[in-house]
Structure 1
Amino acid sequence: MSGTKSSDLICKRMYREEEWIDWLLGNKMPDEAESMRLHAAGCAKCRYAAGEWKPLLATEQQADGKSDGAALLPSPSVRRKLRSKVKMKGWLARAARGMASGKGRIAAASGIAILLCAVMLQSVPDEPDAKHSRYVEAYEPRALSFMNDPRTAGFPVHALRSELGAGYVWFNEGSGEVLLLLEGMLPSDGFVIQAWLLEGSTHRNMGVLKHLEASRAHLYFKDKAIARPQNIALTVEPHGGSLEPTSPDALVIRLQRP
């Protein structure tokens, strides 16, 4: 919180936010959970972390009809999804606080700093797997032939923050087509993920990613301007998208040939 001295927010145990989310979800063994509880009682940093995530988690549990009882905690697979969803909502809330502060890009940067990461793309010679093909056939059939074109390069997206999801990019220099498919990027009320083609310091709008399934988002784009390798940036924007970015780049995807 703003009134807390930075010197008070130093944790010798170096607990990460993910660990406090797991603690709140009941994912820790009893002995470790009790140790963390006792630690938080004397650590301002960890009390702040747990206190920040607790209301977000409570909101998600209420939305799913869950109570606080341990017997009613979700299954491990659901817990993992819930953990990622809670973190995404927390990041987006920070971004919203930054954008709403009226202090422009600097405030937004501090609000969304945890989202910032770079992705590296490496060429994969294999053809798109069946699940990707089925998804594209269902939601973006015009991109199917391009995706399966032997001249199209496929790249896995590796984000430094796994909660942002993993995914794939298909890129064809000859046709100037790009298909971006991300898995794990969950929709959030009031926010969208928007893509931009980076041309020097200029962000050119590519459009808003479509969230047609709960855990997937995609964007198909065709423009001869990307017949040469470019960078694509993703930003968090208010619902409906923006004419220009209102928050810093959350992901930067480097289109490159092997």
Structure 2
Amino acid sequence: MIDHLIQHIITLLRQGFDGVIPSPESHIVTGALAGEIDELPAIAIYPSKLTWSQGLVESNSSGPRPQEFRQEIPVEAGSPQGPYPLAKTPLPGSAQGQLIFDPGEVTERRVTVLENKAFTIDYQTPAVSFSADLSEASLIRLTYSFVGVFTVKEFQQQFLVDVYDTGMAAVEKWASLANGMILTSHDELIEQYNVTAKTEYIANQFITRHTLGRLQSLEGSPGRQESALKMQLTYSATGYITLIKEIVDGFGLIQKIHSPGQISDHPVDIEIGLE
């Protein structure tokens, strides 16, 4: 559940120890270390026990409803107008888009585009094609709704930070600094996981979407591995996983409700139009 979080922590520690620990790329690694450790000091980070809440945070498995979805599409240099395949089948009329020029640069700019004006959607494929000029755009960002059923579960997963060196004083130093880097970067790590690099997996009509709420330090346990001394720091990451199944047929957005135009004390028929 938290592989992306661990990768962010690895990057954080390598940057934090740059110039302090020699060659942090080889001394700060993912995965448990076994046997004799040749390069000291060493820090290893990896996931541990995963538990699920016994209750559902929210369950709507019997009641389909619209789900918002965002898809980013790199502009194809050879055929910038498309068509580009869509990950889901949008509800008609729900799609909006942005053309992004020079993403991540000081000169970045965004232009909002609308369906049936700058682009059209083939709902059978599904795919999107553009009539707007995309020759200088780098990225297309589409936001649309699709119909799905979903369940939300809370999870908690522990992760371990193993710190090694030749003496306990050095082990304590590296463990203390690593702990400080992680805990003082709490909000940054949560934002990276939830926003900057979202954790979302898609397989046909199924989607799983992960979000984190908090990180906590739990305990530290000293030990020895071969000739190296060790401190194992234990943390927990608590978050939510949203489980979604897309429903393609039989739903649409209500565009018009036609009233018979009269007030009555008795029920009257109305006509609901899906367009």
Q: Give the TM-score taking structure 1 as reference length.
A: 0.23
Structure number with higher helix proportion:
1
Larger radius of gyration: 2
Structure with the higher strand share, 1 or 2: 2
Q: Which protein, 1 or 2, shows the higher relative CO under an 8 Å CA cutoff with sep ≥ 6?
A: 2
